[in-house]
Structures are given as C-alpha cells and as structure tokens.
Amino acid sequence: MDHLLGEATRSAGDAELIARAASGDRAAFTELVERHRAAVHRYARSLTKNDADAEDALQRTFLAVWRSAATFRGPASARSWLFTVARNAALRQARPRREDATEPEALAELGARAGWGTDSPHALLEGAEVRARLGAALARLDADDREVIVLRDLEGLSGDEASSVLGLSLSALKSRLHRARLRLMASLQEEIR
Amino acid sequence: MKLDREVAGLTCARVLEHLPDFIDGRLAPAERASVEAHLAGCDVCERFGGSYGAVVAALRRELGTPEPLSRDVEQRLAQALGAPASDDP
Ligand SMILES: [Zn+2]
C-alpha cells in the first residue's frame, strides 16, 4: 500500500500518526502498524507461551490502538504507550507471572554464576552463531527477565519508557534489568561448559 | 575469589552493582572515577565488566532488529484490522 501513503505520512512521528488515527485516518494507522508490527510481535512473543498467543496479542494490540488512539496523550512516548497496550494484550492469555515471594538471589551469587571470577568471561561471545546463541539464551529466561531485556536492550527503550511500560519505579527497573542480564550471561556460560 | 575485596576504595560487590550505570555513562564523575580506579587495579572486575558490556552491546547488535513478520502473519493481521495486506493491489 506504500504508493497510497503520502510522503507526509511516512515521515510523520508516531505521536502524530496516533493523533491522525484517532480522527479516523486509515493511512496513518496503516503506517503505524507497518512501522511497529515486527517489534510488537517480538515483544508479545517474549511474554506468551507460543506463537499463536503472540499473534493473537499482536492483532488485539493494534485493534486496541485503533479504537483507543484518542486516549493517547502526548507528549508521553508513543512507543511506550504502544508497548503498554501490547503488554496488556499479551498478558491476558499468558502464564501466571512468577511469584516474587522467594528471596531475591544475591547479586554476588548471580555475578558468580554469570562468570565473575572466572578466567575468561569473554569466551561467552566467542565462536560462531553468536546471534543464535544469544537468542536461545534469551528464550531460556523467565518471561520477566526476557521482557525487560527485550524492551531495554533490544528495542532500545529508555529507562523511563521501560519503567512506564512495566509499571515499575526507575530503580526497580534498573535492578530487574541488571539481574536479567546476569542470568542471561549465566545461561550463556552454562552452554559453554 | 571474594566480592568483598577492596581495591581503590571500592569493593568488587559495589563495582558489580554499578556496572549498568557505568556502561551507560550514567555515573556521577566522582563515582565513575572510583570505578575506573578499581577496574585498573582489579583484573577480575575488569574482565567481567568487559564481558558484561560486550554482551549488552551484542544484544543490540545481533538482535536489535526484529525478524519481519511472515507473510501469513502479516495477512492475518491485515485481515483482523479490516484492511488488505500491504502489498495487495
Ligand atoms: Zn573487583
């Protein structure tokens, strides 16, 4: 449909596209979908058990965006709003979240599992298929750990944006991200041994 | 090897805690200077910090761009949204 979209639509910012979608502009909505569908799908997939649920969440995300575009309030980040909608859609059918009743693992222990104190933590990224190994390690994490890495390290959301999507304080977000990265390193580490 | 070892006035445990802000360049100048001094004198943290930063950079580099949707998923999405798939005439 590219030829139907004016240059103005393709160069518009997300917030502007959402505002235009709110007033019924289908082309603006289509551009928004095309711009973000792959990222929203990946984020949904990080939260759901299977591809079918992720696809369902993807569809419901953009339906909700179309219906509730008028409720978006700039200048909040359009991406964090989009990911928040996606999160709600994905978690509706996702597994129950991990209970946080257990004592959080001490940072020192996590660090040790992640390779602190070993001779060659650099070996984590050596060898072939780095992309595949990172993807596999990410897939082995708990959903909580995976989603914070997807939002911050893969999608590049700022700390403020990610904390707003996850409903966490900035300091809680930072701590979750740090622990998630250490668990990812531990997972890469175990694979090498 | 213990994380309570102190080098340049900081324990390894503190350095581990500071790593995310350190690699993001978000530490205050004084804190940054003491982490740098610790890393200069502590091989273990220097190696681990390098590895941590490399993994974070690799995540973005290797996985930063999501795979495009398959044609099927794309079509079903367009259908659900009540519009033709993007490449349809
Ligand atoms: Zn140290």
With 60 as the cut, is the pLDDT of residue A129 above it?
yes
For A159, the token pair is 């700390």
Does B24 fall in a domain?
yes
- Nearest Cα residue in chain B from A115: B48
Instruction: Write down the mean pLDDT value for chain A.
Output: 88
Going by their DSSP bridges, the two strands B10-11 and B6-7 should be labelled as: antiparallel
For A56, the token pair is 């369902």
- Interchain contact, B63 vs A2, CB within 8 Å: no
What's the CATH code of the domain at B62?
1.10.10
* Confidence at residue B47, expressed as pLDDT on a 0 to 100 scale: 93
Residues of A in contact with B77 (CB under 8 A): 33, 37, 55, 58-59, 62
* Confidence at residue B88, expressed as pLDDT on a 0 to 100 scale: 42
Q: What are phi and psi of B10, to 5 degrees?
A: -125, 140
ipTM passes above 0.85: yes
With 80 as the cut, is the pLDDT of residue A1 above it?
no
pLDDT digits (tens, 9 = 90+) for A135-167: 999 999 999 999 999 999 999 999 999 999 999
Does B87 fall in a domain?
no
Residues of B in contact with A122 (CB under 8 A): 47, 50-51, 54
Does B33 fall in a domain?
yes
Span A62-75, mean pLDDT?
88
For the ranges A59-68, A113-122, B80-89, the maximum mean pLDDT occurs at A59-68
Does B86 fall in a domain?
no
pLDDT digits (tens, 9 = 90+) for A83-102: 999 999 999 866 565 555 56
pLDDT, greater one: A189 or A64: A64
Q: Which residues pair with B24 in a beta bridge?
A: none
* Interchain contact B71–A (C-beta under 8 A): no
Report how far residue A53's alpha carbon sits from residue A43's, in angstroms, rounded to the nearest whole number. 12
* Confidence at residue A100, expressed as pLDDT on a 0 to 100 scale: 55
- Interchain contact, A59 vs B76, CB within 8 Å: yes
For A62, the token pair is 């953009």
Domain hosting residue B59, numbered range: 6-81
Does B45 fall in a domain?
yes
Q: Which of B58, B77, B87 lies nearest to residue A125, judging by beta carbons?
A: B58
pTM of the predicted model as reported, rounded to 2 decimal places: 0.89
Number of domains in chain B: 1
CB A31 within 8 A of CB A96: no
DSSP output for A68-122: HGGG--TTS-HHHHHHHHHHHHHHTSSPPPPP--SPPPPHHHHHHHTTTTSS-GG
With 60 as the cut, is the pLDDT of residue A174 above it?
yes
**Domains contained in chain A, CATH given:** 2-92 (1.10.1740.10), 107-192 (1.10.10.10)
